[in-house]
A and B are shown apart, each in its own frame.
Chain A
Amino acid sequence: MPMAIEEISIDDFAKAIPDGAKVAIPADYAGVSMAATRALIRRRAKALYLVGVPTSGLQAELLIGAGCVKTFESSALTLGEYGPAPRFTKAVREGSIHLIDATCPAIHAGLQASQKGIPFMPLRGILGSDVLKNHPGWKVIQNPFAIDDDLIVAIPAIQPDVALFHAPLADRDGNVWIGRKRELVNMAHASKTTFVTVDAISETSLFETEEKAAGVLPALYVGKVCVAPNGSWPLPFWNGAEVDDAHMRQYMQMAANDAGFQEYLDQFILQESVSA
């Protein structure tokens, strides 16, 4: 039986994500493919439309700083305790990226609508906020089942071209183990295809035991898998690595100005050997 997974370099993996693609990326706690992020910057990706599910961090910060991003749709971009994201802050101030600011459950709801193949998902809250006032897609509708006035916000489906994340394990058939990070399943179901970097390949099927199978994203949804050990570096990973604190501090120092950020790109991304 032929192997479903082809061996592919991280740079070829990133080349398969076209310019202008709408890419769903997870929050730092769910497994971010930083290896693929660096490869996207190396291939000078352009005009990406990032959907931070429901927020993003260093991944969007680097892509925005490197000029790869046209639109950023999310509920927040945060580097947590490291402080304000310097490249994002600058891009917002200068108006060099298009922002679609949402609120976390609305990002999840938009993906849920897409995975169900329906045009929108209604959601409570949000009424009276300036997020609603400024959002280009949301509509306020009357609850069709209520007798009295009951306004509710309709969130249109979000269908990304690609969901991109890092996971611990894939098997030779292309099934991916995501543990209890069910938002990755939602992202994958909602997107046209899913690209995953993994720490390792399992030589046995992930469906072999029910315990493992409960946390599997089936190969049906998966377009490409690339082995990239520790692929979330320098971010933490729920199934392994701690955050590389020293590197994050170094990033904050270097990215404080344009020249320093360029030096960061040269040193840690553009020079990175492909086999790393």
Chain B
Amino acid sequence: MTNIVDDKKALICLIANLLRDCNHVAVGAASPIPGAAALLAKATWGTPRFVNILGSVDNNFFTGGGGELFDCAAQGRIDAFFLGGGQIDGQANINLMGRGDYPNCSPRWPGTFGSAYLYFLIPKVILFREEHTRRTLVEKVDFISAPGLSDEKTYRKGGPFGLLTSKAFFHFDKEKKRFRLVSIHPSSSLEDILDNTGFSFDYSEETPLTSPPDPALLEVLNRVVRGKVAEVYPNFADTIFPVTSNAGHDT
């Protein structure tokens, strides 16, 4: 259990580092790890200056209604966002619709949400999917909720930056149109990743291990951000912050 908690905190710290150069980060309601990471980056560095957690009351400053997020994205006012999917393929296509033949998917997943739009308009889209198996990381998705790539004539300001899983971090190379393995988490290995990835990708035999989280960052997470995370994602907060101590200082 402790290892799972440590692994999740490591993912939060890794993502926080990816958001440090952003001004405005938006996070979906059901994304506790990216949400915690955005709050951590803001608390630690003051950047991103704006964090919007959709569906939250306290951590959402939009006053223009549900459409404001999309207008913001189209104007380039959102720097980073997270997308997942039941299937992700080697071209960075994502499938949030379901497995099998549409429309009678089985299983059917919730649906495409804003992905078909936001993937085109937000510069740094981080694909995040904890499950790293051949079931989720596939050669070709069954349904393209949002394409990873578009032709040159298509208006496209954004797209895939990288893919983070419970085993590794990949960068998406838009020129080569392929993922490149950047680092391997300590709990995994190159062999494990090759065994469990359904698409081909570029890698070096000497791919480094993912750096362990900076203790200072972990300290901020555990002491300062903890309360905020609990506000937005109570169930998730219960799993990653032990209830034995009452060090839940809010900002």
Q: Is B242 part of the contact surface with A, judged by Cβ < 8 Å? A: no
Contact flags (1/0) for B170-194 with A, using CB distance below 8 Å?
0000000000000000000000000
Tell me if A134 and B102 are in contact (CB < 8 A): yes
**Smallest distance from the beta carbon of A46 to chain B beta carbons, Å?**
22
Q: Which residues of B contact A77 (CB under 8 A)?
A: 110-111
Tell me if A124 and B67 are in contact (CB < 8 A): no
Q: Knowing A88-B108, A130-B145, A238-B57, say if A103 contacts B117 (CB, 8 Å).
A: yes
Q: Knowing A29-B55, A129-B147, say if A185 contacts B65 (CB, 8 Å).
A: yes
Q: Is B29 part of the contact surface with A, judged by Cβ < 8 Å? A: yes
Q: Is A20 part of the contact surface with B, judged by Cβ < 8 Å? A: no
Tell me if A92 and B113 are in contact (CB < 8 A): no
**Smallest distance from the beta carbon of B65 to chain A beta carbons, Å?**
3
Contact flags (1/0) for A84-110 with B, using CB distance below 8 Å?
110011001111000101111110110
Interface-centre pick from B54, B107, B117, B146 (highest chain A CB count, 10 A): B117
Tell me if A29 and B29 are in contact (CB < 8 A): yes
Q: How many interface residues does A have (CB within 8 Å)?
A: 56
Interface residues of B in 141-184 (CB under 8 A from A): 143-147, 150, 153-155
Q: B144 touches which one: A75, A94, A124, A129 (CB < 8 A)?
A: A129
Contact flags (1/0) for B120-133 with A, using CB distance below 8 Å?
11000000000000
Q: Which residues of B contact A238 (CB under 8 A)?
A: 57
**Smallest distance from the beta carbon of A39 to chain B beta carbons, Å?**
25
Q: Is B114 part of the contact surface with A, judged by Cβ < 8 Å? A: yes
Tell me if A128 and B150 are in contact (CB < 8 A): yes
Interface residues of B in 60-108 (CB under 8 A from A): 62-68, 70, 74, 96-98, 102-108
* Cα(A104)–Cα(B147), bound, Å: 16
Q: Is A123 part of the contact surface with B, judged by Cβ < 8 Å? A: yes
* Nearest B residue (CB) for A182: B65
Tell me if A108 and B103 are in contact (CB < 8 A): no
Q: Which residues of A contact B98 (CB under 8 A)?
A: 92
Q: Which residues of A contact B103 (CB under 8 A)?
A: 92, 95, 99, 101, 134
Interface residues of A in 97-143 (CB under 8 A from B): 99, 101-106, 108-109, 112, 123-132, 134
Q: Which residues of A contact B104 (CB under 8 A)?
A: 92-95
Tell me if A54 and B108 are in contact (CB < 8 A): no
Q: Which residues of A contact B145 (CB under 8 A)?
A: 129-131
* Nearest B residue (CB) for A100: B103
Q: Which residues of A contact B64 (CB under 8 A)?
A: 182
Q: Which residues of A contact B107 (CB under 8 A)?
A: 84, 89, 93
Q: Which residues of B contact A81 (CB under 8 A)?
A: 30, 235
Tell me if B70 and A105 are in contact (CB < 8 A): yes
Q: A103 touches which one: B29, B66, B108, B114 (CB < 8 A)?
A: B114
* Cα(A108)–Cα(B30), bound, Å: 21
Q: A125 touches which one: B65, B97, B116 (CB < 8 A)?
A: B116
Tell me if A129 and B113 are in contact (CB < 8 A): no
Interface residues of A in 210-247 (CB under 8 A from B): 238
**Smallest distance from the beta carbon of B131 to chain A beta carbons, Å?**
15
**Smallest distance from the beta carbon of A40 to chain B beta carbons, Å?**
22
Q: B118 touches which one: A95, A125, A148, A182 (CB < 8 A)?
A: A125
* Cα(A54)–Cα(B111), bound, Å: 11
Q: Is B241 part of the contact surface with A, judged by Cβ < 8 Å? A: no
Q: Is A27 part of the contact surface with B, judged by Cβ < 8 Å? A: yes
Tell me if B155 and A152 are in contact (CB < 8 A): yes
Q: Is A76 part of the contact surface with B, judged by Cβ < 8 Å? A: yes
Q: A54 touches which one: B63, B105, B114, B150 (CB < 8 A)?
A: B114
Q: Is B115 part of the contact surface with A, judged by Cβ < 8 Å? A: yes
* Cα(A112)–Cα(B64), bound, Å: 13
A-B CB contact pairs (8 Å), 30 listed: A75-B112, A75-B113, A76-B110, A78-B30, A80-B29, A92-B103, A93-B105, A93-B107, A95-B104, A101-B111, A103-B113, A103-B116, A103-B117, A104-B117, A108-B67, A109-B67, A123-B117, A125-B118, A126-B116, A126-B120, A127-B154, A129-B144, A129-B147, A130-B144, A131-B97, A131-B112, A150-B155, A151-B153, A180-B62, A182-B64
Question: Which 3 pairs between the two chains have the least Cβ-Cβ distance?
Answer: A182-B65, A76-B111, A105-B70
Beyond the given A54-B114, A128-B147, A134-B102, please list 14 additional residue pairs across the A-B interface where CB-CB is below 8 A: A30-B66, A54-B113, A75-B113, A85-B110, A93-B104, A103-B113, A103-B117, A108-B67, A112-B67, A126-B120, A129-B146, A130-B97, A150-B153, A186-B67
Contact surface of A with B, Cβ cutoff 8 Å:
27-30, 53-55, 74-78, 80-81, 84-85, 88-89, 92-95, 99, 101-106, 108-109, 112, 123-132, 134, 148-152, 180-186, 238
